[in-house]
Amino acid sequence: MPADKKLPVTEARTPKALSAVARQQLLLINGLLDEVGRNYLARLRREITELVRCLEKKQAGPGFSRRELKDLRGILKQIAHLQINPERGRRKDLKKIDSLIGELQSTIERW
């Protein structure tokens, strides 16, 4: 795993130099935001794809037991109760999706 990225610290003294360094640091953070966002979304998409794959495998195999059918109903209920507002672009909505995926993984892993 790559090491954490750290922003360089500078010893600029004049207001103009400090402003230039702050601008440079903000541009670096902007780039880091893009990278972290891409990686985060890619991980969530992989996890969703794996959940779909598990459901398809189970459906193609011996089928679902009574307990698994009950779990499936619970999964559908959890998904139906997901309340997010994508237009707002809030972290808490991403967290809700991430949490839901984790809960669904826990449920399906018991099978």
pLDDT at 9: 62
Distances (CA, A) of 70 to 6, 21, 58, 107: 47, 57, 14, 11
Distances (CA, A) of 51 to 27, 28, 40, 99: 37, 35, 17, 14
First to last CA, the chain: 31
* Comparison of pLDDT for 44 and 61, the residue scoring more: 44
Q: Tell me the three state secondary structure of residue 61.
A: coil
Q: Report residue 62's pLDDT band, with 50, 70 and 90 as the boundaries.
A: confident
Q: Can you say whether the dihedral through the CA atoms of 71, 74, 78, 79 is positive or negative? A: positive
Distance CA 84, CA 50 (A): 23
> pLDDT (tens digit, 9 = 90+) per residue, 17-57?
899 999 999 999 999 999 999 999 999 999 999 999 999 99
Note the pTM of the prediction, 2 decimals: 0.79
Contact 79, 100 (CB under 8 A): yes
